[in-house]
Structure 1
Amino acid sequence: MGRKAILFHGTAAHPDVVWLPWLRRRLAERGYAVEAPHYPGLNVEPIATFLPKVLAAHTFDADTVLVGHSGGAALLLAILEHIDTPVDQAVLVAGYCTRPNSEDEPVLQEAYDWAAIRARVRDLYFINSREDPYGCDDQQGRAMFERLGGTQIIRDDGHFGDIDQPYESFELLDRLID
């Protein structure tokens, strides 16, 4: 088994938006087996019923890298808490662990076992923007960083891709992933 990356899109999105196709190509060129599933139920279906479907659809091991954007990054917290083997890296882009705005966030758990999450990932990165229009901002990144450690990266770069923010590539991600 070689290196594997699983890329999770954000709420109401799909695997072919923003920098996801670019990152898929870059990682594949570097020898990664890349999965980029489409989950229309992300942040629509409650995490208690949604998470088992995600866990059943993928395998995780010490050579796995997880990348999530927005709601997909929030999903990574639940995945990491509930998998039974550690993964190599997790990169949460515009992630959050509490409601970032007034919208419902079915992807969030009511509480997290932070120690369990930390024990199941070798290296963690939180990339957030101080000017995120949805509230998935540097304070959300800080809240996760303070509970989990890892590396927090703060930019002034919106939501790192959105309907009105084209974000065709994301060089930083390519450099962070081993």
Structure 2
Amino acid sequence: MQVILIHGYLGFPENNWFPWLKTELLSRGYEVTIPSMPNPALPVEEEWVEKLKTLIHDPESTILVGHSLGCAAILHYLQNYKDPQFQGIVLVAGFGREFLKLEKFFGWFKQPLDFSKIKKAAKKWICIHSKNDRLVPFAEGEWLSKKIGAEFVVQNNGHFLKQEGVIELPAVLEAIESF
């Protein structure tokens, strides 16, 4: 089983809880890919979606994990997806529409996403969100989980960043293992 983890804005593969998750998954026999997404300081939707296309080879044996803007990239990728269902998708601090704090990324949601289509792309969805997320409001996580019919896991870990003390995130490991 392959796990592909997509970081968020200003992110990189060795940041936050990603190294811990990679180590845990490798020890359990998963194949793990954590790419550097293009221009993380000036992310362009089309570039991130194209990068995702190059990474995915066997959706039925793939679990996608997104963090913050990485979730939006996954959702945009799935907007035009037609292949077999993914084993599972985990969205951490995710969002699927514009909101006030998202001014930098207003180009990402020119058209509303078709969630009735997107939610069919995975056998199971899990959204993990913090009540005290200062960057992506809790209400956005709740809204997104309802739109895609996801299990909703509530945490109290801010935006799940290393500078907030989050270097391990067992809820993501548990979500992956549940698929």
- TM norm. shorter chain > 0.5: yes
- Taking structure 2 as the reference length, the TM-score comes to 0.88
8 A contact 1:47–1:109 mirrored in 2: no
Amino acid at match of 1:93: V
- 2:79 pairs with 1:81: yes
8 A contact 2:37–2:51 mirrored in 1: no
CA distance in 2, matches of 1:7, 1:109: 25
Identify the range of structure 1 (3-12 vs 52-61) with the bigger mean alpha-carbon deviation: 52-61
CA distance in 1, matches of 2:110, 2:56: 20
Aligned to 2:115: 114
Amino acid at match of 2:143: A
Aligned to 1:168: 167
String of CA shifts for 1:88-140, please: whole Å, max 9, x gaps: 11111011112341532144452111122111111101111121111x13211
Aligned to 1:55: 53
CA distance in 2, matches of 1:40, 1:8: 11
8 A contact 1:131–1:158 mirrored in 2: yes
8 A contact 1:7–1:66 mirrored in 2: yes
8 A contact 2:157–2:166 mirrored in 1: no
CA RMSD of aligned residues (A): 1.9
Q: State the secondary structure of the residue aligned to 2:133.
A: coil
The unaligned stretches of length 5 or more in structure 1 are none
Deviation at 1:43, TM superposition (A): 7.1
Deviation at 1:18, TM superposition (A): 0.8
- Taking structure 1 as the reference length, the TM-score comes to 0.88
Q: State the secondary structure of the residue aligned to 1:5.
A: strand
Identity %: 25
8 A contact 2:9–2:43 mirrored in 1: no
The unaligned stretches of length 5 or more in structure 2 are none
Identify the range of structure 1 (89-98 vs 101-110) with the bigger mean alpha-carbon deviation: 101-110
Structure in which a larger fraction of residues adopt helix: 2
- Picking from 15, 21, 24, the partner of 1:23 is 21
Moved segments of 4+, more than 6 Å = none
CA distance in 2, matches of 1:92, 1:128: 8
String of CA shifts for 1:63-93, please: whole Å, max 9, x gaps: 1101111111221211222333210111110
Deviation at 1:50, TM superposition (A): 3.6
Q: State the secondary structure of the residue aligned to 1:18.
A: coil
Aligned to 2:5: 7
Return closer, same or farther for 1:155/1:103 CA change in 2, 3 Å cut-off.
same
Where in structure 2 are the equivalents of 1:62-77 lying within 5 Å? Answer: 62-77=60-75
